[in-house]
């Protein structure tokens, strides 16, 4: 199975009201802001050490969190964020007890 990858000519990168191509950095910044807002808005992920980077609409999560449930939840929240086409979840669980 092949998953379609966004192409600059696929229409996503053209803002209909501005009439000019939307820069990838602008799109990625908007997607990152949405992911961060979701993570900060949830009780279990809001106070965790989670870094978010978005490249080509792929959300990359990095950091150390308290438990495996937070790793799974953070990935799920990122997937549900508008504009995200893939998630690379590299979160690790803290070894402190």
Q: What length does the chain have?
A: 97
**pLDDT by residue (tens digit) across 31-57?**
999 999 999 999 999 999 999 999 999
Per-residue pLDDT, 57 = 94
0.95 cut: is pTM over it? no
Task: Enumerate domains of the chain plus CATH numbers.
Answer: 24-93 (3.30.1340)
């Amino acid at each position: 199975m092949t998953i379609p990858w966004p192409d600059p000519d696929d229409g996503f990168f053209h803002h209909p009201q501005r009439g000019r191509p939307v820069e990838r950095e602008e799109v990625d910044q908007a997607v990152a802001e949405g992911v961060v807002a979701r993570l900060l808005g949830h009780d279990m992920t809001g106070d965790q050490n989670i870094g978010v980077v978005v490249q080509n609409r792929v959300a990359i999560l990095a950091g150390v969190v308290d438990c495996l449930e937070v790793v799974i939840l953070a990935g799920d929240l990122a997937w549900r964020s508008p504009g995200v086409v893939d998630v690379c979840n590299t979160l690790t669980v803290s070894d402190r007890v």
